[in-house]
Amino acid sequence: MRNVAHIFHSAARAAKKPISFEVFPPKGDLTHEVAREMASHLVKLHPDFISVTYSAGGGGNKQATAAIASMIQDDFAVPTVAHLTCAGMDEAAYERAVGELQAYGVHNVLALRGDLPQGDTSAKAVHQDHDMQQQPFVYACDLMQRLVADGFCVGGAAYPEGHVTCFDDAANIQHLKLKQDAGASFLITQLFFDNDCFYRFREAALKAGVDVPLSCGIMPFLSKAQIQRMVFMCGASLPAPIIKLLARWESDPESLRQAGIEYACNQLVDLARHGVDGLHVYTMNQPDIAHAACSALRATGQV
């Protein structure tokens, strides 16, 4: 199965913009078979790869990540990226995770710190003195170095407006450069709603020597409650046009959902016109979002 870093580089040579989708693994009533049915719709759009999360919010079915990624690769011949978080991970857990990825034939990994366990009071101490910690995996960079050494193609997260715990723009760029130095061969951004924030971030990253492919992660807002949750979790800013849409369609959930998808599609088209390295759509396991994104891009000749 193709190395995702090679996908980005091949696309760059062909002046093509890689398009990828993100799904999350089964939990609750989302069975493996339902996940397969969902994937069957996504692959018809010919994505360059599909990423599978490792239980958003620190919960969910972590064991399903490698299995779903493997299923998409084997059944649909589409490259996949399995997310892997290091929060709370020790050597034994790392060996289990790597063994599972290898057993399933998953070679591309997005290495993340992940959400700290609820009630974890060690975060402050960890950030104050990383070198003194006994934990082998404190930051995503720690995980990246090991995964690269074990032969994986490794990607990392990028934060156009800074991680929610990072209050310094310069430090945010420094952290990004550390991920590249640790072996990350591609980067995918957290969601953002203001493309100008990304363009400023990209310029700063390039000046700092970050030259690996930087793909833009876009998630549509589907409800007022969802966007409030995303803003507080991710620290993404809300541009005035979104606030106006929320005010206009607050009492009409379906119209608000459609407005959110249209806004995301317009973001993707603008990003493509500005020559970004890649477009990554957070589908929230809803194939119609991916269909809308690809239709908008194709209608404007951007793919």
Catalytic residues, by residue number, are: 22
Determine the distance from the C-alpha atom of residue 299 to the mean position of all C-alpha atoms in its chain, rounded to a whole number.
Answer: 25
Count CB-CB contacts under 10 A for residue 54. 25
Q: Which amino acid is at 98?
A: V
DSSP 230: H
Please name the residue ranges forming H helices in the chain: 4-13, 32-43, 64-76, 91-103, 123-128, 140-149, 169-181, 195-207, 224-234, 240-249, 253-273, 287-299
Q: At 153, is the secondary structure helix, strand, or coil?
A: strand
Tokens standing for 74? 């084997």
Exposure of 110 in the CB half-sphere (CA atoms within 13 A): 26
Of 155, 228, 162, residue with least CA distance to 198: 162
